[in-house]
Amino acid sequence: MVSAQSIDELCINTIRTLCIDAVQQANSGHPGTPMAMAPVVYTLWQDFLRFDPADPIWPNRDRFVLSAGHASTLLYSLLHLTGVTSVDEKYERLGTPSVALDDLKHFRQLGSKCPGHPEYHLTSGVETTTGPLGQGVANSVGMAIAADWLAKHFNQPGFTVFDYDVFALCGDGCMMEGVSSEAASLAGHLRLGNLCWIYDSNHITIEGNTALAFSEDVAARFLGYGWQVLRVSDANDRERIADAIADAKRTNDRPTLIIVESHIGYGAPHKQDTSAAHGEPLGEDEVKAAKRRYGWPENAKFLVPEGVYEHFAANFGARGKKSHEEWNALFERYRTQHPGLADQCERMQRRDLPEGWDRDIPVFPADPRGIASRDSSARVLNALAPRLPWLIGGAADLAPSTKTRLTFSEAGDFEADDRAGRNFHFGIREHAMGSICNGLSVSKLRAYGSGFLIFSDYMKAPIRLSALMELPVVYVFTHDSIGVGEDGPTHQPVEQLVGLRSIPGLIVIRPADANEVAEAWRVALGHKHQPVCLILSRQNLPTFDRQRYAAASGVARGAYVMADSGDGRTPEVILIGTGSEVAICVEVYEKLTAEGVRARVVSMPSWELFEQQDGDYRAAVLPSSVTRRVAVEQASVLGWDRYAGTEGTIIGMKTFGASAPLKDLLNKFGFTPEHVYAAAKEQLARKE
């Protein structure tokens, strides 16, 4: 039997022992942080967090982010003990437990709802995927921004529809990662009073004590960012923890960092090393020692004593249910008085789009001089945004270059003194921008972030997580090739396209002209569960005559026959291009056609969309019988053999670029009609 304990102590020790048992049974995981921080998170959830277990996607719930994702059992145990229920991919409440006790028993096993790190979509109640350290706290900044924007957009006199708070639990590793510094700096600048980070300062990382590599004054750093900083000297002091959280909730003019001092693996008196925190179970002897210290039956496994479920239900559950019911009643009155805003709110939660959202997308007339795809994108974006009120975003200090500023009169800037704006200034913080966009997206806003394609390298982690979480973030990358000219190889993307294309679930679109840009935006915003990268040019691209060439709507299928012989016969040679190189292919096509050659131009803006098409369509665009092919793209040749074939010619980049005027670079690297024409003639001369 469990020794006599207060009900609060009993609940805390239940969390601890469930975490210990899950890790021990899996023979893998991180028990130390859950053991140490159980009192802190228990206090937050039981006494403060506004969350209805029966509806874990209630729009006005408080958010809890476990940025220290290695401590996942801490979150799983709470989801189980509080009775959080499941929601499916259609946002339907299932009534089944999000985490059953049996799920905890299968921690880290194949198919389990309790994977090694919390995964968004997989386990209801997990607000965001937190594996790479620092991502969770950076996501939380996006969530806090979203809360303020939603409040400004939807709240009306007498109707507080949105006023939720965002809490994140982080550790020393999160504090060391640069993305957390970027995000914290922006949060302080924006004075996000609804944001609280709880920092578990246990001075332990995988290699040992943090003194090996980390000696800065974190409190001073965050004071410099403009945060309120509070300290709790003992993670077991629930009264002081509660005072600090209450202070954070009262503070509306700046975010709060609560620094909590803890000892890793508290409760395992002989196991005070890094193994308890980072990847090793305690071992059976230490498990028993810890349980004895908690007054627990040492041989009991996955024990939930009588009264624990009921105590969580009477506090956390009852408070959340009451708040949710009051909100539902409020929203029904709101729907009557503000039907348009209510409709927007409900569509947004389902990731649906407004009626007629794409009605004003422009059609661009043929123009041989053309327009840079970043400029045509700006026109499309500003035609779309007024009809999609929750489309918001910005750039990492590059909006004048990426052309992603919303310029219509109602757009405005999101700033500390104005939460209504839809233009965001992320500053030179590409990594945090991507992570914040993910935080905006899990809050159901349609977010976009922009920069130069070369700087997608700084954003690889959040872009990857967008795809992993199936978030429809739009990433707008301009300056897409060696076309940036004199800026040189440091700014000329070569391997970035293939790197992005390698991310499962990410759609990459490199449009060839203004009308392909328009269709690319239509495709991007039409996806509910896939992120999209739009790859745009700085230099002008001719706008093709769509009476002569195929309609740009072919973008939706990833690749399409843009120009053909017109006689229905199989082409002799196929020219494949993306972006600015399609114009070269078209010019060579016209020359070959004049010579009587049956040539075909395939515009292939998106490998991913093309691979989603059925085999018949793909074979019709690229018949296997035609092996004479030339593929042209100002990027790495890696992967193009899939479409050029083993005998085709690939004109691409095999080195870094160079600093020179654009014309000189195109000549040097072979991106000219003359070079592509010569390659086509060589293919035609080859015997099939």
Question: Residue for token digits 């759609």?
Answer: 507
Query: Among residues 48, 75, 100, which one has the least CA distance to residue 320?
Result: 48
What is the secondary structure of 312-370 as a DSSP string?
Answer: HIIIIIHHHHHHHHHHHHHHHHHHHH-HHHHHHHHHHHHT---TTTTTT---PPPEEEE
* Token pair in block for residue 318: 């009852």
Distance CA 99, CA 121 (A): 13
Helix (H) or strand (E) holding 310: helix 308-312
Phi–psi pair at 146, nearest 5 degrees = -60, -45
Q: How many CB atoms lie within 10 A of CB 223?
A: 14
* Token pair in block for residue 562: 């843009």
* Residues with catalytic roles: 430
Q: How many CB atoms lie within 10 A of CB 547?
A: 7
CA distances from 570 to 28, 217, 618 (A): 58, 70, 15
Q: Produce one character per residue of 453-480: b if its CB has 16 or more CB atoms within 10 Å, e if not.
A: bbbbebbbbbbbbbbbbbbbbbbbbbbb
Q: Which residues pair with 424 in a beta bridge?
A: 394
Q: Produce one character per residue of 44-58: b if its CB has 16 or more CB atoms within 10 Å, e if not.
A: bbbbbbbbbbebbeb
Distance CA 277, CA 265 (A): 7
Which residues, 6+ apart, have CB-to-CB distance to 600 below 8 Å? 561, 563, 564, 565, 571, 573, 574, 575, 589, 626
Q: Give the count of alpha carbons within 13 A of 302, CB side only.
A: 17
The span from the first CA to the last CA of the chain, in angstroms, equals: 81
